[in-house]
Structure 1
């Protein structure tokens, strides 16, 4: 991509960002738009719009920016929970990494790259018509001692990132424990979910038979029931028989709770149950003990919060969930392969000569300088972004059919899927420069991977800069503007004349936002020493992200669930992978640049990084899986002196309401996540 095409893309996206920023700064002050730009404040009663017209409302003001930057962690914790705090820590962590990368990359490595003479055919007098390769490590002469600056930079950034990762892992772990110790007793702390419960032999069948027999006897004429009594105690009167059956049926109801009559007659049982204990420690002990000789039966897991339960797959068996997971894996692979089609199309758009071969009838139009700059600079990243908008909802759906019992687990699983989908399809598929089908087999030969990546990655620097400004700058600013809710609000006003029947406060879309933040972190780490020109654009993105998402947590998003920071291990794993990828590319670069000593000295870095990762997994990861016995016992002892504990245990009995077991008049819930677990056959 030419410098002029990149500047065109940056200019278009910068203009869109300014437009969205200005419109939001004005529209957010209009009382009619409070339900769009401040639904959280309205529902909390913190904002009451006045219908009085004032001229200053039409003028955009940046006062919200100051409030977003000055909001403290404690304020965010009290209003949006620990998950929001951890998410903002992810952005500040990325800001620190990118800031150091900018200092080293822009002020040291970029001048070294630009002053190189490896690319002799570059027209330095007219940089706008030149390739961005002159700003990459490709312009440094082979065997030059200047490459040692890049070598030192790789070591320095690795040490800094590992130091920050350790500090953040330790900090988030401590906040997670503190958050638990300061919380009030919650139902999920005392409850486990037991799934794949074996069918109780005969109980349901006996209940069905007794129920039918009882109904039959009750429907017989009264005269037929008043026959003579027993003969030597061998035969009972039917009245006594009815009483006997009723008593026996009541006893059986202690073991099996009947659902609606048509469902209970089908003889089905819910093979899962929430089991509550009188202490958190007792629940934890039961959770970590194998309940049955067959490990696929009586599978226990930590119960989610009552409002976080995902009911549709509540009673699915172990085998069905296992098969569903296999199907989802295959579906993700097929989706990844199918997405290569738009990637190849996008790569064709970045190459003007190749585009003229594909579409010769557009040659005359493409000869216009501005059109060619828009097509090669802005259009590819825009098309890719439009396709990517479909991926988070698809991955959320695939995660929902895997058998997760909670919405938060579904979102966490979707985050992982979207992240690795993005890394493969946006990073690896694009760095192979459109010839993905001929080079995909290099991953079957690990020894060839560093050399191939060393050639391909720097060549795609301009494309990823355009991708950052489109998917990063513009997309994040459009999140601030909330175009779709605004349009829906206007349409609703036109047809109904009011906006009283609004949707509930939206939940933060972690599965759509978090993978993007982590992917840009990967771009910053891997391109840090290859093409430092991308770093200022990433720095702008993370500054925008911090400002905008902090504002949205204050005004828009309400917490739907609380995982107490369980998203952080995803961040840690992503950063470790980014470092290892940077090391692999560094080995390939120094080998191609005929600096074998530097290439050899890079090899200790991935080993040290993996050892560091193994230590962190042993030291911190268990805290995110379950709380320690020490913490649980300490919290249980605190409850002994709490006067509200008895009231809590009284409410705990009905905390998890199974929709299938509710009375008939209360079971007609239209919410898909609360629909009946059993249906008539």
Structure 2
């Protein structure tokens, strides 16, 4: 790729970013779009719909930037929780690491790369006509002593990154413990989830759970709630909600024809929906009554104790001689429980995981098709061979720059939009009981899918069998990476610009919610703040993207340091935009107390080791065998550092220590509100589908007996 093609991509994406920022700063002031741009403020009641017109509404302003900049970490913690703080720490951590690497890369390594003559002389006069390969390590002459500067840079950046990783792990671990100490008593702190409960024909699951825990935990067992099958009830609830919204809409819309003819007579649409709601409500009561019977019990239950330490002890101990029975795990928060799909047996969960693994592999293989197509677009000669009839068009300079510089990364980005929802769905059928576990699992899947399909598949964009042959021959990996990674530097620089800059700006503009709002507005005349629900942050989509850019920055900082300025601009945009979104848009759906950070740590360690492997191959390829040999201790030391961090910090993110639990229990011992808390704990984990509902205006059905 030529510098001119990269500049074309930068120009297009910069224009899109400016466009998104301008439209956002205008539309956010319009009352019609409050539900798109400040749904959290509306749902919290801190902002109201305003109808007064003013010309300042039509003038773009940057006041929101200053507001997002001023918010402190403590304010974020109190308003959005520790997960939000951890997400923002990921961005600031990346900014610190790549600012340090950028100083070395731009001011030291980049001039050395340009001064080389291995590929071509750098043309200062026609600088836009230079190939981007001139800015990479490939242009440094073989055997040059200047390569020792690259070698030293790898060691320096590795040490600095590990130092920063240690400090961040330590800081977030301490914040997690402090957050626990400062929290009020929560139901999940006193509760565990028990699966694979053995059953018999003589007793129900509920009776089995009660007798087991009363026998083995007589002084600490408090209560339990058996999980029931409620999928049919949920379908009825969803249908009732749709009918209820339709009825409210008809009642509020005086212009709409509210009657239709049935069997030759006029029938009121409102009365029609009211009758249907009454019927569904009656069916719901019958289904809820049936669900309370023993036959609808699953072999799983939430079991609550009278202290945090007792719940922690039950979680850590193996409950049965048979390890596939009475399997325990920490209970999520009641609002975090994922009710629609619940796999209660050990075998069913194992089969679900196997099915998901196979599905992920097939999805990964199918995704290689767009990757190969995208790589064909970056190569003009290959593109002409595929489509000979486009030869005349491809000779036009601007067209070729757009096709090679902008189009490939745009197409790949559009395909990648499908990955997070697919991975979230696959995680949801693995048997996870909480939204946080589903999102954490999806985060891992999206990250490794992106690393494999965007990074490795792009590097080795050949047949699938060729990629498999690389894995089967580990000795050849450093050499092949050394050849492939620098060759794709131009593509990944353009990818950071397209996927980073534009995607982050579109996050601010919220294109999809805006389109949905525009389509649905003609059908909804009134908006009720009480019914408005603020969306939650899609961590499984955004954390993998930042971590993947971290991998690109780490692997390319000494190979093609030109990527770093574009990466830093992306991180600065992300810092401001996501802070703004946490203030105005996203409300926390759950609180995992920073459990996403180990994913961040592991990903950065992987990026460092990958950089070391590439460095080994590069120095060998550049005829500097001593540097290649001296690079071997670095990945070993990095993995030892990672092992130390795993032993030192990871247990804090799995469960709280006995010391913390006992201290917190003693702190709450004299609290007069604890008795009321334990009374509410009994029903804290009752399935919302079993709660009584009232959508119909006729209240007689609630008092009508089930059996006449």
**How many residues in Structure 1 have an aligned counterpart in Structure 2?**
621
Match of 2:381 in 1: 353
Please name the residue that 2:146 is paired with: 146
Q: 1:418 aligns with which of 417, 434, 446?
A: 446
Deviation (angstroms), 1:267: 4.0
Which residue does the alignment assign to 1:369?
Answer: 397
Q: CA deviation at 1:644?
A: 1.0
Offset at residue 439 of structure 1 (A): 4.5
Inter-partner Cα distance in structure 2 for 1:111 and 1:301 = 55
Verify the 8 A CA contact 2:343 2:431 in the aligned structure 1: no
Distance 1:588 1:329 in 2: 32
Q: Counterparts in 2 of 1:571-590, with a 5 A limit?
A: 571-590=600-619
Query: Is 1:516 equivalent to 2:513 in the alignment?
Result: no
C-alpha distance 410-257 of structure 1, shift in aligned 2 (>3 A)? closer
Give the drift of 1:3. 1.6
Matches within 5 A, 1:630-641: 630-641=659-670
Q: Distance in 1 between matches of 2:633 and 2:523?
A: 66
Q: What is the match of residue 596 of structure 1?
A: 625
The aligned counterpart of 2:491 is 463
User: Which of 334, 338, 341 is the matching residue for 1:310?
Assistant: 338
1:428 to 447, 450, 456: 456
- The alignment's C-alpha RMSD in Å is 2.3
Residues 306-358 of structure 1, C-alpha deviations (whole Å, 9 max, x = no match): 01111233352110000000110111111111100000000000001101111
1:9 aligned residue:
9
In structure 2, C-alpha distance between the alignment counterparts of 1:399 and 1:265, rounded to whole Å: 30
Look up the match of 1:541.
Answer: 570
Give the secondary-structure state (helix, strand or coil) at the position aligned to 2:405: helix
Report the alpha carbon displacement of residue 560 of structure 1 after superposing the two structures with TM. Answer: 0.2
SS at match of 1:300: strand
**SS of aligned partner of 2:194:** strand
Question: C-alpha displacement at 1:123, in angstroms?
Answer: 5.4
Residue 129 (structure 1) shift: 2.9
Q: Which residue number corresponds to residue 454 of structure 1?
A: 482
- Are the equivalent residues in 2 in contact too, given 1:272–1:314 (CA < 8 A)? no
- In structure 2, the residue matched to 1:324 is 352
Deviation readout 1:503-535 (Å, 9 max, x if unpaired)? 510000001100000000111000010000000
Q: CA deviation at 1:491?
A: 2.5
Query: CA 1:139–1:435 in 2, change beyond 3 Å: closer, same or farther?
Result: farther
Alignment CA distance shift 1:428-1:256 (3 Å) = closer
Q: Does 1:385 align with 2:413?
A: yes
Cα deviations by residue, 1:191-237 (Å, 9 ceiling, x for unpaired): 000001011332359x9xxxxxxxxxxxxxxxxxxxxxxxxxxxxxx
Q: 1:437 Cα deviation (Å)?
A: 4.5
CA contact (8 A) 1:190 1:276 kept: yes
Q: Per the alignment, do residues 371 and 586 of structure 1 end up closer, same or farther by CA in structure 2, a change over 3 Å counting? A: same
Gaps of 5+ in 1: 208-253, 670-681
Greater Cα shift, 425-434 or 295-304: 425-434
Which of these residues, 625, 629, 650, is aligned with residue 654 of structure 2?
625
TM-score (norm 1): 0.88
**How far does residue 125 in structure 1 lie from its aligned partner after superposition?**
4.3
CA distance in 2, matches of 1:496, 1:569: 44
For 1:9-408, what aligned pairs fall within 5 Å after superposition? Answer: 9-120=9-120, 125-204=125-204, 267-408=295-436
Bigger CA drift: 499-508 or 47-56?
Answer: 499-508
SS at 1:270's partner residue? strand
Equivalent position of 1:444 in the other structure: 472
After superposition, the Cα gap between the structure-2 partners of 1:331 and 1:255, relative to the gap in structure 1 and judged at 3 Å, is closer
The 3 A distance-change label for structure 1 pair 496 and 298 is: same
Q: 1:531 is paired with a residue of what secondary structure?
A: coil
Larger radius of gyration: 1
Contact 2:204/2:294, CA 8 A, preserved across alignment: no
Q: Are the counterparts in 2 of residues 194 and 298 from structure 1 also a CA contact under 8 Å?
A: yes
Query: Which residue is 1:643 aligned to?
Result: 672
* SS at 1:418 equivalent: helix
Residue 490 of structure 1 and its aligned partner are, at CA, apart by 2.3
CA shift at 1:264, angstroms? 7.5
Whether the aligned pair in 2 keeps the contact of 1:492 and 1:498 (CA below 8 Å) is no
Looking at structure 2, the residues matched to 77 and 256 of structure 1 have their Cα atoms a distance apart, in angstroms, of 33
What are structure 2's unaligned runs of at least 5 residues? 208-224, 230-286, 697-708
Give the alignment's TM-score, normalised by structure 2: 0.85
Q: Distance in 1 between matches of 2:293 and 2:71?
A: 58
Q: Where does residue 276 of structure 2 map in the other structure?
A: none
Output the CA distance in 2 between the equivalents of 1:452 and 1:107.
28
In the superposition, relative to structure 1, how do residues 667 and 578 fare at CA in structure 2: closer, same or farther (>3 Å)?
farther
TM-aligned CA deviation for residue 489 of structure 1: 2.0
Residue by residue, what CA displacement relative to the aligned partner does 1:259-281 show, whole Å, maximum 9, x if unpaired?
Answer: 86756789453200100000000
